[in-house]
A and B are shown apart, each in its own frame.
Chain A
Amino acid sequence: MKRVTAGNTALLILALLSAWASWIPANDGTLENSMNNNLVKTLSTSEDPWELNDAAKALAKGSDPIGHAAVATALVSSHFLTNLDSEEEYAGDSRHLRLASLLKVLAENETQSAHEILLRASESSVFCDNPARIDLMIDALTFIRPAPPRAITFWDKYSQPEDGFVERTIRQISENGSDPAIALLEKKLTSRDFEEEDRAWWIRRHVLGLRDNVTMLNACMRMLQGSLEEALRPGLVEVLFDYQPKAWYRPHDVPAAPDRSNASREALELLYLIGQSAQAELELDPALDFRITDELKTIDETLKDER
Chain B
Amino acid sequence: MAARGQWNSRFGFIMAAVGSAVGLGNLVRFPREMADQGGAAFLFVYLGLLLLVGLPAILGEMSLGKITNSSPVNAFRKAAGDPRSKWAILGVFGVLAAVFVLFFYTVIAGWALRFFFESLRDGWFDDPSGLFDSVATGPWTIFWNFVVTAVTIYIVSRGISGGIEKATVIMMPALFTIIVGIVIYALFQPGMGAGYREIFDPDFSELSVNNVSNAIGQVFFSLSLGQGAMLTYASYMEKKQSVTKDGTTIAFADSGVALLAAMMIFPVLAFTGLLADPTTQAQLDSGSFGTAFRALPNAFVSMGDVIGRIVGSVFFLGLFFAALSSAISLLEVPVSVLVDNRGMARWKAALLMGMVTYTFGVLSSINGNWLDLFDQIAVNVFVVVGVALTTFFAGWSAKGVAKELDAGLKSRIGIYVVWMMRTIAPVLILVTFIFGGLWGVNPDGDFDFWYLAGEDGGTSANWRNLIELFGRAFRFE
Do the two shown chains form a genuine complex with each other?
A: no
Seen from chain A, the residues whose Cβ lies within 8 Å of a Cβ on chain B are none
